[in-house]
Amino acid sequence: MLEIGTKAPAFSLSDQNGDIHTLEEYAGKKLILYFYPKDNTAGCSKQACGFGELYPQFLEKDAVVVGVSKDSVASHKRFEEKYGLPFTLLSDPELAAIQAYDVWHEKKMCGKVSMGVVRTTYLIDENGIIVKAFDKVKAVENPAQMLELL
């Protein structure tokens, strides 16, 4: 996990519509950048829907929510449409941002060890500085936790 007070790493990734997004375009706004393991899984769906339900309140606080996983653009599009998600989902199959934000780690599931995304959420301020960072995030609680922070 990256240190609070450090500059957030730049990224350039495609969203669910194939449009490119960069960290720079969020300058002047608070950015909730959350990394999640996989589209259409139970925890990831709950977390995304939670952010979706609270999204108008994030906008009122001049904050933007962006989700990132290694899933494809097409997978993100299906995920967005299935749950009516109102925010940007970025596709990082090359793991560029996922590794830059230090969320790619060894995980153990049912005794099996593999590499994967550790659910992590960063709050980045208007100047691109990380002001809060949470790893091992509880999917259901995370959206309300981030709104409360603002």
pLDDT, tens digit, 9 for 90 and up, residues 51-110: 999 999 999 999 999 999 999 999 999 999 999 999 999 999 999 999 999 999 988 877
Give this prediction's pTM.
0.95
Catalytic: which of 32, 33, 44, 117?
44
Check residue 100 and report its DSSP letter.
Answer: H
Identify whether 49 is a catalytic site residue.
no
φ, ψ of residue 80 in degrees (nearest 5)? -60, -50
